[in-house]
Amino acid sequence: MNDFDLRKYLAEGRLLKETFVKLSDEQKKKVKDAAKRGEAPEDVIDSDFGGDDKYLQSIKALMDKLTEGRLLKENINMATILSHDDYHDLYIGNRAEHDAKDEEEQFSDEYIIDLDPGMYQMIYWNDEGPDYMSFDNKLDYVKSAIMNFWGEDHFIEKFGIEDEVGDDTWDYFDQHVADNLDMYYEELNNLINKSYPDGDSASGVVLLVNGKVVAGEAAEI
């Protein structure tokens, strides 16, 4: 790492993004699809791309970065709504890919949030915009989602453990969650699938596991 040149790295990233923006939609798709398949740049770049040798070298460098996953990663790391008045749909995607789009295709920064990485990402939103929780394992996700968002009462009644859980016996509930983790997880998914944003009185919810939507609905951008 002693040889790492931050200024060079930032300049290179900026130039490659500028190169990407200059491509047509068809060329962008061609480059990204080829990078995913691991194809060599010289097998993809043809006369259709135009430009001089320097420009073509930039496209080749762009493909190398895409292949390495250091410029436009496939992971979902942003979420947004359209506006305070148009909030019923949640949009998720990759921030680098979003920022590389033409300005008129980008969403307003006012409602965009960046997501921390995690195996489990629960995103919830209303007319004020989205928020989220992120966890690396199922137990932490389930316990935190119940305690900090949905509340314990629904689950206590759902699973008939009112007599076992009282003001001084919350340890029982925690253990019951751990012992019946999949059961609680499935009930959380049921609640998520029934969720719907209604102004600031109710929130829509979506759950991503390893970057894939498994409960609720969100549109990928």
Q: Which residues contact 107 (CB under 8 A, 6 or more apart)?
A: 80, 82, 91, 98, 221
If phi > 0 it is left, if psi is from -120 to 50 it is alpha, else beta; for residue 58 that is alpha
**Same domain, residue pair 10 and 113:** no
**Same domain, residue pair 116 and 172:** yes
Number of CB atoms found within 10 A of residue 8's CB: 9
pLDDT single digits (tens) 23-40: 777 777 777 777 666 676
**Same domain, residue pair 63 and 168:** no
**Same domain, residue pair 40 and 10:** yes
Q: What percentage of the chain exceeds 70 in pLDDT?
A: 75
Q: Measure Cα distances from 109 to 8, 80, 104, 197 in Å.
A: 27, 9, 12, 20
- Domain hosting 100: range is 78-220
Q: How far apart are CA 174 and CA 163, in angstroms?
A: 15
**Same domain, residue pair 138 and 205:** yes
What does the pLDDT average to over 107-111? 93
pLDDT class of 57 with cuts at 50, 70, 90: confident
Whether 1 is covered by a domain: the verdict is no
Q: How far apart are CA 150 and CA 172, in angstroms?
A: 18
pLDDT single digits (tens) 117-175: 889 999 999 999 999 999 999 999 999 999 999 999 999 999 999 888 876 667 889 99
pLDDT class of 71 with cuts at 50, 70, 90: very low
Q: What is the pTM of this model?
A: 0.67
Q: What is the per-residue pLDDT for 2?
A: 47
Number of CB atoms found within 10 A of residue 127's CB: 18
**Same domain, residue pair 40 and 82:** no
- Specify the number of domains making up the chain: 2
- Pick the more confident residue, 74 or 200: 200
**Same domain, residue pair 83 and 52:** no
pLDDT exceeds cutoff 60 at 3: no
pLDDT exceeds cutoff 90 at 14: no
Q: What is the per-residue pLDDT for 6?
A: 47
Q: What is the per-residue pLDDT for 66?
A: 64
Q: Measure Cα distances from 130 to 79, 83, 93, 115, 124 in Å.
A: 7, 11, 13, 10, 6
Q: How far apart are CA 215 and CA 103, in angstroms?
A: 31
